[in-house]
Amino acid sequence: MPLPNYTLGVMDASVYAPEVFARGLPSDQRPEQSFEYAAKPAGSIADAASPLLALQGISLSFGGVVALADIDLSVLSGEIRAIIGPNGAGKSSLINVISGVYRPDRGHVHLDGTSYAQVPTQRLAHLGVARTFQNLALFKGLSVLDNVASGLAYKVRSNFAGQVLGIGRSRGEQRDSRSRAEQILEFLHLTAIRDRLVGTLPYGLQKRVELARALVAEPRLLLLDEPMAGMTASEKSEMAAFVRAARDRFGTTVVLIEHDVGVVMGLSDRIAVLDYGRKIADATPDEVRNDQRVIDAYLGVASDNEDGAGI
């Protein structure tokens, strides 16, 4: 069965990255645990010696259902790491383990040199990790701008009294988070809808707002759970370009779950394939494409699955 065309011509990040990213953000607005901002050439895998994220023997089951079975996975700094697999393979569970939403039954998550039995969700943003959700997890009662600015809530140090009275550091914080949110909105072409309530937006745009909320914190590690599900082909390639641009400009490491094999092949440096909670392959796109087990388990059905089945 022929696979879809892998190379998407429109995925030229520069088209989508306006000046704001070239300039970078003023140094006083960078997160405290500031990391290497220097742009990396696309596709390069930095410093293979020390992975930013490593999973070691992760197992997780729900009742009798084995969601993850003894998974090892390493993610290098600056790479786009895809995780693919059929519905129910355990992809979302894996992201939930990495972000501390689930506690694995066995195994450890090594994040930037520290080992966790359960990643502390509450500290995730401080650790430089941001994520999006397979099912939208936006704050419906807030505007687009406020949703995105909320991605900086972890940095807020002013207390409610200062905010109510408009004294102390609250004013500066408010100004900073708005201007940073506005920069991200511009980057993701969302400026025109900044004051809309997110609940009133079409699905594809909501997905993009969620990406904006994650990106505004300039995370070192970005976990994306099917960011392009339910999108049209052109929306998908636009989104793919944004993901790549974020990596190229910020050096953000990306873990990407995506069903659209075309997008995945074009975008990722390495691909891990899950099936029934097991990792059945872990290699470069070219190798994965030709792996017989992967073709049997997943790619064989890929063309049925292109249109975002398994959302």
Ligand X SMILES: Nc1ncnc2c1ncn2[C@@H]1O[C@H](COP(=O)(O)OP(=O)(O)OP(=O)(O)O)[C@@H](O)[C@H]1O
Residue ranges that bind Mg ion, judged by CB under 5 A: 92, 134
Question: How far is Cα 160 from Cα 217, in angstroms, rounded to an integer?
Answer: 22
Whichever of 110 and 126 has its CB closer to another protein, that residue is 126
Our CB check for Mg ion shows the closer of 180 and 279 to be 279
Using CB under 6 A, pick the residue from 51, 80, 81, 92 that binds ligand X.
92
Decide: is 4 part of the binding site for ligand X (CB under 6 A). Answer: no
Which parts of this chain interact with another protein (CB under 8 A)? 99, 101, 121-126, 130-131, 133, 137-142, 146, 149-151, 153-156, 158-160, 163-166, 170, 173-174, 177, 195-197, 199-200, 213, 217
Token readout for 215 is 């990106």
C-alpha to C-alpha distance for 137 and 206, rounded to whole angstroms: 9
Residue 156, binding choice from ligand X, Mg ion, another protein, none, Cβ under 5 to 8 Å by partner class: another protein
Give the number of other Cβ atoms within 10 Å of residue 19's Cβ. Answer: 8
Task: Please identify which residue in the block is written with the tokens 């089945």.
Answer: 309
Q: Distance between CA atoms of 182 and 187, rounded to whole angstroms?
A: 9
In the complex with ligand X, the residue whose CB is nearer, 181 or 261, is 261
Q: Rule CB under 6 A: is residue 88 a binding residue for ligand X?
A: yes
Interaction partner, residue 65 (another protein, Mg ion, ligand X, none; CB < 5-8 Å by kind): ligand X
CA torsion sign for 169, 172, 174, 176 is negative
User: Closest by alpha carbon to 30, among 128, 138, 131, 136?
Assistant: 128
* Nearer Cβ to another protein (125/224): 125
Residue nearest to Mg ion (CB): 92
Q: Which residue spans within the chain are E strands per DSSP?
A: 53-62, 65-75, 80-84, 106-111, 114-116, 129-131, 221-225, 253-257, 270-275, 278-283
Give the distance, in angstroms, between the CA of residue 17 and the centroid of all CA atoms in the same chain.
18
Residue 6 or 139: the one with the smaller Cβ distance to another protein is 139
Give 121's contacts (C-beta < 8 A, 6+ positions apart): 99, 100, 101
Work out how close the CB of 117 gets to ligand X at its nearest, in angstroms, rounded to a whole number.
18
User: Using the rule CB under 6 A, which residue among 59, 134, 174, 191 binds ligand X?
Assistant: 134
Q: Using the rule CB under 6 A, is 98 a contact of ligand X?
A: no
Exposed, middle or buried: residue 47 (CB in 10 Å: 0-12, 13-18, 19+)? exposed
Query: Please, which of residues 48-87 interact with ligand X by CB under 6 A?
Result: 62, 65, 67, 85, 87
What is the contact mask toward ligand X in residues 101 to 120, using x (rule: CB under 6 A)? --------------------
Task: Decide if residue 121 touches ligand X (CB under 6 A).
Answer: no
